[in-house]
Amino acid sequence: MFKLYIEKLLRNKLAVAGIVIIIILIIIAALSPIIATHNPFEGNILERLQPPTSNHLLGTDEIGRDVFSRMIYGARISISVGIIAVTISLIIGTFLGLISGYFGGKIDIIIMRFVDIMLCFPSFFLILMVIAFLEPNIYNVMIVIGLTSWTGLARLVRGETLTIKERDFITAAKGLGLRKRRIIFVHILPNVISPVIVSSILGVGAAILVESGLSFLGLGVQPPTPSWGNILTSGKDYIHIAWWLSLFPGLAILITVLGWNLLGEGLRDVFDPRTN
C-alpha cells in the first residue's frame, strides 16, 4: 500500500514540484551558516541600500546588511515556525477530534461548542490579540499559531471518527472487551491519519504566512533576527529606491507556501480512493 502511494505521488507532477521546493528549502535552512556569504547580523553603513551585485547577490538593506545572507537565515525561521506550530495544532486537534467523535454526548457538545466559539473569531486577529499581551518572539509566535489553528483539524477528525466508529471492526473490538483508549488510538487513529496528514501539510504553508504577517507588523520575530516578514517591513520604507528589499522576501514566501500547498494537494489526490 505504501509503495502504491509513493508511485501515485511521483506521478503527480505538481506534487513532485512541491517536494523539490521543500527539499531545497530544508537544505538551505540546514546549511545556512555555510551558504550565507556574509554575517546576517553585521552591516556596513557605507554599503547601505546597494542593489544586487556580485558581492551582495540580493543587495543590502538600510544599514548595509547582506540581504542574501539574511534571506538564507530567514528560511530557518519560516520552516521552524511552520513545522512546530503545525505539530502543536496537530496534537491538539487530533486528540480532541478523536475524543469528541468517539464518545459523543456531552463531551462532544462541549468540545464542538468551544470549537464554534473559536471559529467565531478571525484566526489572524485572534493571534494578534494574544501576541499583543505577550512578548513578541519566535517561541511565542510558534505556540500561539499552534494553539489557535487546531479547530479545523478537530472538526475534520471528529467527522471521520463518527463514520469509522460505526464500522464492523470497531464493533468487533468493543465486543472483545478492548479498552476505549486502545480502540481510539490503535484502531480509529490509523484510519483518520490520511486527511490529518493532508491538513497538516497545508497548515505549514498557512503558518508560514501568518508568521510572515506578524513579523511584517512587528509582532513576530524581532530584529536583528532575520525573518522574511521583518525584511519586508524594512523594505516598505524604501520600496521606491530599494525594490530588492520587498521583491526577494515576497518571492521566498510565495514559493515556500506554494511548495507546501502543492505537496498537500498532491497527497490529497494520493489518498483519495476515487483516483486509485
Mean pLDDT (the chain) is 86
All 3 cell numbers of residue 10? 511521483
What are 141-181's pLDDT values in tens digits? 888 888 888 988 999 999 999 989 888 888 888 888 888 88
User: Considering Cα of 171, then 175, then 180, then 184, what sign does the dihedral take?
Assistant: negative
Query: What torsion, rounded to 10 degrees, do the Cα atoms 24, 29, 32, 36 define?
Result: 60
**Angle ∠(147,151,154) on CA atoms, nearest 5:** 115
Q: What is the CA radius of gyration of the chain?
A: 22
Q: Which CATH number fits domain 13-32+66-275: 1.10.3720.10, 3.30.565.10, 3.40.350.10, 1.20.58.410?
A: 1.10.3720.10
Identify which of 59, 21, 33 has the alpha carbon closest to the alpha carbon of residue 235: 59
pLDDT at 276: 52
What residues of the chain score a pLDDT lower than 70? 1-2, 5, 272-276
What are 101-120's pLDDT values in tens digits? 999 889 999 999 999 888 88
Query: What are the CA-CA distances from residue 94 to residues 3, 60, 111 (Å)?
Result: 26, 44, 12
Q: How far apart are CA 143 and CA 27, in angstroms?
A: 25
pLDDT at 275: 53
Enumerate the β-bridge partners of residue 60. Answer: 66
